[in-house]
A and B are shown apart, each in its own frame.
Chain A
Amino acid sequence: MFTIVEKRRLNDSMTLMAVDAPFIAKKAQAGQFIILRVNEYGERIPLTIADYDREKGTVTIIYQKVGKTTLLLDTLEVGDALLDFIGPLGKASELEGHKKVAVVGGGAGCAIAYPQAKALHNMGVQVDVIAGFRNKDLIILEDEMREVSDHLYLMTDDGSNGHKGFVTAALEENIKNGAGYDFVVAIGPLPMMRAVCNLTKEHNIETMISMNPIMIDGTGMCGGCRLTVGGETKFACVDGPDFNGHEVDFDEAMKRLRTYSEQEKEATREFNCRLMEGAEHA
């Protein structure tokens, strides 16, 4: 059992949790992930390690409430425990050898982009963070991202924070203004990462993305997370989750991500119904 030692709501849909997991905290590196299972009936879901504290022995995750398991996870409070918490999984991000980097985060992807920016910043690299959200109420980790970047470009789709537009618009503008990026890290929904990759390919800038396919074991034993990268089959859980964005087959990845969408919707609907019933009986 793995005890929750901190829980903080970042906005209406996103929550940060720190979990007591000393073995994982000791080994975790930027870019790696954990798999958790809430209870005995639960499924195993992957979440990126957003932060870790080797001394306290804690690992921080940030999740967005998108379906049954994340809603269930969100019913737990500090002092409660997760049944399973497994990691650190995947390869650590390879961030060495760059001078000026743009880290582009989309929505919940900023939870994963932030530790990357932090790692780069701590290596002494110049870092611009371009973070995009649908509206200003959904913005997370603003202070944290500002602290680890030379410039923070905070964009909203609807302009509700004063900077309207997609992350790709800000990235393109910077590139055209001669920002001189030699590396781009893009993390967020697949369409956003694809748009960034199309842009950087045009400008010939090496781009690393973090993939988020469906996973079960996370240790390379099932291939459920397989992707086509540069024409070859890769398992995201052991060969990634980071890949060269210019080589990933996005179309295929998007289709595979929708494999269980009907069942996911149904499970979420049922879960919400039960929550409502519980509220009525209370």
Chain B
Amino acid sequence: MPNMTPKKTPMPEQAPDVRNKNFEEVALGYTDEMAMEEAQRCLNCKHKPCVNGCPVGVPIPEFISHVAKGEMEEAYQTIKTMNSLPAICGRVCPQETQCEHNCVRGIKGEPVGIGRLERYVADWHMKHGEEKVEKVPSNGHKVAVIGAGPAGLTCAGDLSAKGYQVTIFEALHTAGGVLMYGIPQFRLPKEIVQKEISGLEERGVEIMTDMVMGKVLSVDELFEMGYEAVFIGTGAGLPNFMNIPGESLVGTYSANEFLTRVNLMKAYKPEYDTPIIRPKNVAVVGGGNVAMDAARTAKRLGAENVYIVYRRAEEQMPARNEEIHHAKEEGIIFRLLCNPVAIHGDDDGKVRAIECIEMELGEPDASGRRRPVPKEGSNFELPVDCVIMAIGNSPNPLIRSTTEGLEANQKGCIIVDEATMATTREGVYAAGDAVSGAATVILAMGGGKEAAASIDKYIQNKAK
């Protein structure tokens, strides 16, 4: 008999007042009992709507029925057939708009905790599972992957499983992309990312860090070196600023810089050399997951007042509900329907306050969200010593500006055939944020997966 409880089995978490002072993971994960109990809520539907909601097509009811029976290793192997980074996806996917959004149990109550179960299974495997590393015999073909973020790692994993000799070229000193520099430790422990990546290396994927492609090697040179296809997964890492007065004051960060210092360079730990400002009062501008991450990070660095300044209302916030909820629990103050117009500094050039104007919602705009309109004369100052801009990123132009025949749209996103991920240049494929602009980890992985399948077809056809 399935477990017909309308609510998800709750997942233990660190208490808000404790966790907002440390960088340890907030959600603690299911115990074996909790996982089996939650797994029994799955009705094992024949038509599997949940799978349709998963960009990489994880066989969800199959893995969950293994969990219900306590067959954890089998559950893990089932997930791994489609998803090479389950410990990561279980933590950072927006399940509420994907697999869990389609879950039949969600009609009358809460959907099955698919993400929580995926995470549990992956963590169980890391603790108990024995890694049988089976290197697939080489098929003699070489593929280059540019960028070691979720898209590149997935594409590389899938290709190496088919016998391709894959080299990933990464510009930073550590592979992982946004998983390492962007998403904070308290949402995604870096040890877990490292383990998933070393798993790929054990299967034969070669990762070359410190390689800024477009500068140190061009796409043309990769072909000259004998790579038969190139995958571009360079993401959207170019931070946007608002172009308001005062954005160059000391204490104004892009969210990318703030999070890179803390996550990648570990500026929050005294034994690491990279410094970070430890502000008292912080305004984070934006309403996405990156804004929530930056705000919650600032709180953990010891800030007293952390404000989210967002120009629309809470309903329009692009951040996951869970992140907004967590941020509020941790004491982040939301200043909604407010838009910054200037940042003011003191004589030393340090941030003193952010000046905002109140907004009201008008007619829906091109994005379908109601357009915020400023209220004349409603300007006010919020006294802060740090401003973090989290208003989105664009694709970095380095690869497309150094590769002939590679076309991009007005926003700088690489143009691809949506079915095959083929770019306008033969043998070159692209996916993830480099193509879509800033989106989610799992969509990047889905794109990487499709590109791997297309690259396989392309090389096999050419070899005939």
Residues of A within 8 A of B (CB): 23-24, 27, 37, 41-44, 68-69, 83-89, 216-217, 219-224, 226-228, 233, 238, 249, 251-252, 255-256, 258-260, 263-264, 267
Contacts and interface: CB of A to CB of B under 8 A. Distances in A.
A222 B396 contact: no
Interface stretch (B107-115, B246-254, B290-298): B246-254
Contact of B265 (A23, A43, A252, A258): A43
Given A216-B265, A259-B277, A87 B216 contact: yes
Interface of B: 171-173, 209-212, 215-217, 237-239, 241, 243, 247-251, 253-254, 256-257, 260-261, 265, 271-275, 277, 348-350, 396, 398
Nearest to B216: A23
Contacts of A221: 237-239, 256, 260, 396
B275 A41 contact: no
Contacts of B349: 251-252, 255-256
Nearest to B237: A221
B273 A224 contact: no
Contact of B238 (A220, A259, A260): A220
A216 B247 CA distance: 18
A216 B274 contact: yes
Interface of B is mostly: loop
Contacts of A216: 257, 260-261, 265, 274
A255 B250 contact: yes
B397 to A, nearest CB: 8
Contact of B254 (A223, A255, A264, A267): A223
A260 B267 CA distance: 12
Which 9 A-B residue pairings sit nearest by Cβ, starting from the closest? Answer: A255-B349, A222-B257, A221-B237, A43-B273, A263-B275, A43-B274, A260-B275, A84-B173, A223-B254
Contacts of A86: 171, 173, 210, 212
A238 B398 CA distance: 9
Contacts of B239: 221-223
Contact of B243 (A37, A233, A259): A233
B12 to A, nearest CB: 32
A228 B212 contact: no
B216 A27 contact: yes
A69 B273 contact: yes
Contact of B173 (A37, A256, A258): A37
A52 to B, nearest CB: 13
Contacts of B250: 255-256, 258-259
B261 A42 contact: no
B282 to A, nearest CB: 16
Contacts of B253: 224
A199 to B, nearest CB: 25
A68 B254 CA distance: 26
A256 B248 contact: yes
Contacts of A44: 173, 265, 274
A219 B398 contact: yes
Given A43-B265, A223-B257, 20 more contacts: A24-B216, A27-B215, A41-B272, A43-B274, A43-B275, A83-B173, A86-B171, A87-B216, A88-B216, A216-B257, A216-B261, A219-B172, A219-B396, A222-B239, A223-B239, A224-B253, A233-B248, A255-B249, A256-B250, A259-B251
A42 B273 contact: yes
B210 A84 contact: yes
A217 B172 contact: yes
Contacts of B216: 23-24, 27, 87-88
Nearest to B349: A255
Contacts of A227: 248
Contact of A219 (B171, B251, B272): B171
B436 to A, nearest CB: 17
Contacts of B241: 223, 226, 233
24 contacts: A37-B173, A41-B271, A43-B273, A44-B265, A69-B273, A86-B171, A86-B210, A217-B172, A220-B238, A220-B398, A221-B260, A222-B239, A222-B254, A223-B239, A226-B248, A238-B398, A249-B248, A252-B248, A256-B248, A256-B349, A259-B251, A263-B275, A267-B273, A267-B275
A224 B257 contact: yes
B294 to A, nearest CB: 13
A233 B247 contact: yes
Contacts of B398: 219-220, 238
